[in-house]
Amino acid sequence: MEQSYMTIQEADLLEAYLKEVPEVTTVKVSERTSNAVICFNGQVRERILNALADFDYDTTAVSVPEHSGRALQHEYMDQMALRILGRGVSNLFLPSPVRAGISILKSGSFLLRGIRCLLNRQLRVEVLDAASILVSLLRQDYDTAGQVMFLLGIGDLMEEWIHHKSVNDLAAAMALNVDKVWRKLDGGTELLTDIRSVGVGDRIVVRTGNMIPLDGEAVEGDAMVNQASFTGEPLPVHKSTGSYLYAGSVVEEGSLVICVRKESGSGRYDRIVSMIESTEKLKSSAETKASRLADRLVPWTFGAALAAWLTTRDVTRASSILMVDFCCALKLSMPIAVLSAIHEAGNHHISVKGGKFLEPFAQAETMVFDKTGTLTVASPTVKAVIPFGGQDEAEVLRLAACLEEHYPHSVARAVVRSARERDLEHEERHSKVEYVVAHGIASSVDGVRVCIGSHHFIFEDEGCTVPEGEVERLASLPDEFSHLYLAVGGVLAAVLLIEDPMKPEAAQAIQALRAQGISRLVMMTGDNERTARAVAAQVGLDEVYAEVLPEDKAQFIQREHQQGRTVIMIGDGVNDSPALSASDVGVAINSGAAIAREIADITISENDLMSLVTLRQLSEALMNRINQNYHIIIGFNSLLIGLGVLGILPPAVTALAHNTSTIAIGLKSMTNLLPEARFSPDAASPDKHKQ
């Protein structure tokens, strides 16, 4: 298809459409050149060409991101081009007196910033900028003043561009990705419905561990709701009838019936952007140190300039020092390096919610894994249903699916899928469902209590019994499967054997992480001891803790902290939430429970544990780049100051060299930290990661 002109909206639509073609791995659409670069796997060129032929801007139904960042890029690229073009035209065609007048007019904003800092009793980099410009103007060196202001403006624009782009990318990464919701009909029946068909005034049901997909008002129920995605507050808030709920918040405990007040997406993006802008999510400790160091060096720069003037009585030499400082480069390069690393992580399908999480990831010594859905595949299967007490196999599976379908856990999905594959449909006969975190689910069917969950939940918490004469049968169940117990009326009714195969890359990822310097690799799971140890041995973990509760995981992390270790937690379930919150860096699987994704600092793909290896490499490379930037900035600018003091370089040259080096370091900080190859054994060799 040929197209000579493409709008931003058309480019977003075409890119979203091509990304949904199964064989396409990556796609990049350029609206400026009206072309698309498509990468794909296999011999499917004809199929992709046919997909392009079928595409139509007016009729193709595809979900397009609300904020793709394309318009933002256009805006800043145009601003950058106009500034550079304006500077070139000014130098080539305008006479000196006109350029001098322009410099004097432009200096006003820089001088005001410096005066404002002095009035607030702050000696910051803005004062140094104002002083260097003022000295040039007083010496009637208008070209130098104009050059300094131009380069400062370009640096400010670059920093603003990268910052807004990173906020935009981060807000987009925190999108809901909710496709289905439980809609409550007039008769009280719940129907699983596509979210796009839910409108204002409809009622939806949200239970423990689920994300609230739409803004609305609670009309029934009582729950504790985590609103961190847009308020930044980690503690849950109590919500009941009459409370207003925001899309993106998560029900930590309880359930709510919500009357929808806003359609999908309305207002959430802006709330997230506001929250990110008002918190320290984007700032790493390295950035904070760089900013503080930059401001602390300002008095020393003024002192050096004063000393040069007192010893030489040469204004030119003193002003040469004012043209050079460490502050601009430090304040510009560090945030750009961190924000670019976040963007690069996104290219590897890793969503990092802030720069401050990359540094501890590089320094971590302990990594804790959940088992189900984390080390094992996110789609376990029901291999067998073993009925007890004369129960019918189909009926117990139907009953188990009826309870499990309300909860977003991989084992629950396996039970529901197994019932569907056997064409076992059911009606909603049970009453309100109770979800006991890390244990199981309980409800009432026809007035009889029904429970499904772990051995501990069924036999210890609920006090259920085994039908007479079937104790040995229960003990003889195969060990290679995880067991899910169903009890009806206090008596065991069935055991579902769950096959939970390992992720194919799990052992390789564990080996690579150990080579990268992670000294303790631990698995903590609520599963039984037998299954847990088998999994740990298969992937090569150092320690394993079985049949643990959510608080046990969090307490383990606290003990590690007391011993001075930095801890990363990887999980995907509701029961992992306390540990994800307690760790230095919480990593969630993107297919896991909403509350886990909400609390986690980083989200990775469900099918790629090797992304942890990539992220370790990326975070270490970032810290190396930050250290290199420090050395280059301090060394080069010290050289310029020395040459200025000796009178070798005039102020115009030192200003040009300083500002050019600042922009060069900023541009270098924007480049990728990792080569195209995601991981190689050499990169993870123990020698390479010695501290």
User: Which whole number is the average pLDDT over 597-603?
Assistant: 83
Domains defined for the chain, CATH in brackets: 8-64 (3.30.70), 73-170+291-338+618-681 (no CATH), 180-264 (2.70.150.10), 351-376+502-607 (3.40.50.1000), 381-499 (3.40.1110.10)
Who wins on pLDDT, 668 or 528? 668
Task: Look at residue 397 in the predicted model and tell me its pLDDT.
Answer: 92
Set 129, 169, 370, 500: catalytic member: 370
Torsions phi, psi for 260 (to 5 deg): -65, 130
User: What is the tens place of the pLDDT at every residue in 393-405?
Assistant: 999 998 898 888 7
Torsions phi, psi for 215 (to 5 deg): -65, 145
User: Which whole number is the average pLDDT over 58-84?
Assistant: 78
User: Which whole number is the average pLDDT over 415-432?
Assistant: 76
User: Which whole number is the average pLDDT over 153-172?
Assistant: 72
For residue 85, what pLDDT band results from cuts at 50, 70 and 90?
Answer: very high
User: Which whole number is the average pLDDT over 364-387?
Assistant: 88
User: Which whole number is the average pLDDT over 220-234?
Assistant: 72
Task: Look at residue 283 in the predicted model and tell me its pLDDT.
Answer: 57
Per the structure block, which two tokens stand in for 264? Answer: 């999908």
Residue 370 designated active-site: yes
- Cα 335 to the center of its chain, rounded Å: 17
CB of 411 closer than 8 Å to CB of 485: no
Q: Is the pLDDT of residue 139 over 60?
A: yes
Task: Look at residue 688 in the predicted model and tell me its pLDDT.
Answer: 38
Distances (CA, A) of 309 to 302, 322, 325, 546, 606: 11, 11, 17, 72, 63
Average pLDDT over the chain reads 82
For residue 315, what pLDDT band results from cuts at 50, 70 and 90?
Answer: confident
Who wins on pLDDT, 687 or 337? 337
Who wins on pLDDT, 260 or 675? 260
Q: Is the pLDDT of residue 686 over 60?
A: no
Task: Look at residue 237 in the predicted model and tell me its pLDDT.
Answer: 82
Task: Look at residue 275 in the predicted model and tell me its pLDDT.
Answer: 57
User: Which whole number is the average pLDDT over 232-249?
Assistant: 79
Element (H, E) at 205: strand 203-207
Residue by residue, DSSP assigns 594-614 as: HHHHHH-SEEE-TT-THHHHH
SS3 category, 307: helix
The pairing of beta strand 35-40 with beta strand 203-207 = unpaired
Distances (CA, A) of 221 to 206, 207, 251, 259, 507: 10, 10, 11, 12, 44
User: Which whole number is the average pLDDT over 241-260?
Assistant: 85
User: What is the tens place of the pLDDT at every residue in 456-473?
Assistant: 889 988 899 999 999 999
Tell me the H-state helices in 567-606: 577-582, 594-599
Who wins on pLDDT, 424 or 69? 424
Torsions phi, psi for 183 (to 5 deg): -100, 130
User: What is the tens place of the pLDDT at every residue in 4-53?
Assistant: 788 888 888 888 888 888 778 888 888 888 888 988 887 888 888 888 88
Per the structure block, which two tokens stand in for 144? Answer: 């130098």
